[in-house]
Amino acid sequence: MPSTDSAGLGRGRALAFVAPALVLIGIFLVFPALWSIYIGLTDYTLTGPSSVNPQLVGTGNITGALSDPLFGNSLWLTLLFVFGSAMIGQNVLGFTLAWSLRGARRWLRRLVEGLVLLAWILPSTVVAYLWVAVLDRDGGTLNALLNTPGTAWLVQYPMASLIVFNLWRGTAFSMLLYSSALNVVPPSQLETARMVGAGRFSTLKDVVFPHIRGHVLTNTLLITLWTANDFTPFLLTSGGPDHRSETLPVFIYQQALGSGALGYASAISFLLLLVNLVIALVYLRLLRRRG
C-alpha cells in the first residue's frame, strides 16, 4: 500500500511539474495543428460568406492542390531550392570552407568564420533587403561589379538569385558544424593516409567521411528543413514574377493572406508537413542503417 501511495504521489507531483509545459504545448502547438487540419478540410476564407459558415469539403482541398498547376510549380521550385541551395550548395561550400580553414592561421580562421557567420546571424529581413539592393536593376551592386547594366536579376533569374542568396546566408551553419566535426577525425589516420600516398578525394571518402557521417546527415536534415520552410524568398521576390519563385511557404502565404483562402492554404501546409516528414524519415533510416 505505501508503495502505491508514494507512486501516486510521484505521478501527481510529476504531473504538476510538467503541466505548465503541457498547457503551453497544447495551446501553441497541438491546438493550432488540430485547428489547421480541421480548416484544411473546409472552404474557410478570410472574408466573405465562407469566413462565417465554412463548409466541409473533405479532401477537396488536397485533390484541388494536386490538380493545381500552381501547386505543382511551387513544389518543384521548393525541391529545386532545397537541392540547389541546401543539400548540395550549403553542404559542399560549408564543408569546403571548413576543410580549407583547418590548417589556416588562427586569426585568418576567425576572420573568415566571423565574416561568414555575419550573414547567418543578421535578421532575415535585413539580409533580404540588402540583397534586393545588391540585385537591383538600377544602381544595384552586382550590375556595377559585373558591368551588366539593365539586368534585373530578381526578375530575369529569380530562382537562381534565391539559390545564391540562400547559399550565401546558410553556408555559415554548415561550415561551423563541419569545423567541429573535423575535430573528431583522428589526426593519426589522416597522417597514415598521407603516408600511404592516398589522394585528396580518397582521403575524404575513406578516412574523413566515415567519421563525420552523422554530422553530414544531421546538417543535411536541418538545412533541408530550414530551406524548405524558409519564408525569406517572399521578401526578395514575393514569389514573382509570374510565380517563377513561388516556393511552397510563399505559395501558402499568397493563398492564405493574399487570396484569403485559409482552408486551401491549411491543406497545402499539411502537404508541406508531409514533405518534411518524408525527409526526416529518410534521414532517420539512414542513421539507423549506420548504427
Binding other proteins (rule: CB under 8 A), the pick from 25, 66, 118, 280 is: 25
The smaller minimum CB distance to other proteins, of residues 85 and 255, is found at 255
Query: Is residue 237 a contact point for other proteins (CB under 8 A)?
Result: yes
Residue nearer to other proteins on the CB measure, 35 or 191? 35
Pick the binder of other proteins from 15, 118, 133, 277 (CB under 8 A): 15
Nearer to other proteins, 3 or 47 (CB): 47
For other proteins, the binding residue among 63, 125, 156, 183 (CB under 8 A) is 156
Distance (Å, rounded) from C-alpha 272 to C-alpha 225?
10
Beta strand residue intervals within 66-120, DSSP E? none
Number of residues forming the site for other proteins (CB under 8 A): 34
- Going residue by residue from 185 to 224, which x/- string records binding to other proteins, judged by CB under 8 A? ----------------------------------------
Are the CB atoms for 177 and 218 separated by under 8 Å?
yes
| DSSP SS3 for 56 | strand
Single out the residue of 238, 270, 276, 283 in contact with other proteins (rule: CB under 8 A).
238
Asked if 7 is part of the footprint of other proteins (rule: CB under 8 A), the reply reads no
Taking contact as CB under 8 A, which single stretch among the options 193-201, 219-227, 231-239, 268-276 is the one that binds other proteins? 231-239
Q: Judging by beta carbons within 10 Å of its beta carbon (0-12, 13-18, 19+), is residue 243 exposed, middle or buried? A: middle
Query: Is the distance from CB of 33 to CB of 214 less than 8 angstroms?
Result: no
Classified as helix, coil or strand, 118 is helix
* Cα–Cα distance measured from residue 90 to residue 167, given in angstroms and rounded to the nearest whole number: 6
Q: Alpha carbon of 251 to those of 27, 34, 41, 194, 210: distances in Å?
A: 26, 21, 18, 51, 39
**Count of alpha carbons within 13 angstroms of residue 81, beta-carbon side:** 32
Q: Interface with other proteins includes 279 (CB under 8 A)?
A: no
26 binds other proteins (CB under 8 A): yes
Q: Would you give the DSSP letter of residue 88?
A: I
- Residues that bind other proteins in the complex, under the rule CB under 8 A: 11, 15, 19, 22-23, 25-27, 30-31, 34-35, 46-49, 51-52, 137-138, 152, 154-156, 236-238, 240-242, 257-260
